C-alpha cells in the first residue's frame, strides 16, 4: 500500500501541528509513503523564502528525505505529479488539503486523507 504526499501534507507538521506519520500509522498501520520529485522541488522553492511557510517547507523536505520514497514522474507540476502517482498500481491514498486536488484524486477512484479538526487526519473514500 502506497500513500502519496502532496506539498501541503508535508508542511502540516509545522502549519497545523499534525504528527503526520503518526496519524498515517493510526489510519493505515504503517503505509509506504511516496513523495513525487515535483513536490520536493516545490518544497525547495518555498523553503528559500522566509516566515512560517519557509520553515514548514524546510521541515517537510527533511521529513520527505527521511520517511518517503522519492519518485520521478512525467509531470513537472506538483499536483499533476500527485495525480500521476495516485493512479499508479499499488497506490491507495493521497494526503492533501488542497480541495481541487482532492476532487481530481477522488475522480480517479483513489481515497484522500486530509485534515479534520485541529490535528487529526481522516479518510474520504471516492
pLDDT value of position 110: 96
Strands (E) located in 38-83: 69-71
pLDDT value of position 86: 95
pLDDT value of position 29: 87
- Give the 3-state secondary structure of residue 3: strand
Instruction: Give the count of domains, the chain.
Output: 1
CB-based contact 42:78 (threshold 8 Å): yes
Would you state the cell numbers that stand for residue 63, as one nine-digit string? 521529513
Would you state the cell numbers that stand for residue 114, as one nine-digit string? 486530509
Would you state the cell numbers that stand for residue 21, as one nine-digit string? 506519520
pLDDT value of position 114: 96
Q: What pTM was computed for the model?
A: 0.94
pLDDT value of position 30: 85
C-alpha neighbours within 13 Å on the C-beta side of residue 99 = 0
Q: Considering Cα of 81, then 64, then 61, then 116, what sign does the dihedral take?
A: positive
Containing structural domain, residue 39: 2-124
CB-based contact 33:70 (threshold 8 Å): no
The segments of the chain whose pLDDT lies below 50 read none
pLDDT value of position 91: 87
pLDDT value of position 1: 82
pLDDT value of position 96: 97
Which CATH number does the domain housing residue 8 bear? 3.40.50.1010
Amino acid at each position: 500500500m502506497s500513500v502519496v504526499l502532496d506539498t501541503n501534507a508535508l508542511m502540516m507538521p509545522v502549519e497545523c501541528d499534525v504528527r503526520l506519520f503518526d496519524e498515517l500509522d493510526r489510519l493505515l498501520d504503517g503505509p509506504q509513503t511516496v513523495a513525487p520529485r515535483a513536490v520536493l522541488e516545490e518544497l525547495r522553492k518555498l523553503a528559500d523564502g522566509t516566515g512560517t511557510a519557509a520553515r514548514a517547507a524546510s521541515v517537510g523536505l527533511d521529513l520527505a528525505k527521511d520517511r518517503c520514497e522519492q519518485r520521478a514522474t512525467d509531470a513537472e507540476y506538483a499536483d499533476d505529479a500527485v495525480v500521476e502517482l495516485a493512479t499508479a498500481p499499488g497506490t491507495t491514498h493521497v494526503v492533501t488539503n488542497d480541495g481541487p486536488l482532492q476532487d481530481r484524486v477522488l475522480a480517479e477512484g483513489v481515497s484522500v486523507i486530509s485534515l479534520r479538526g485541529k490535528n487529526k487526519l481522516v479518510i474520504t473514500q471516492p
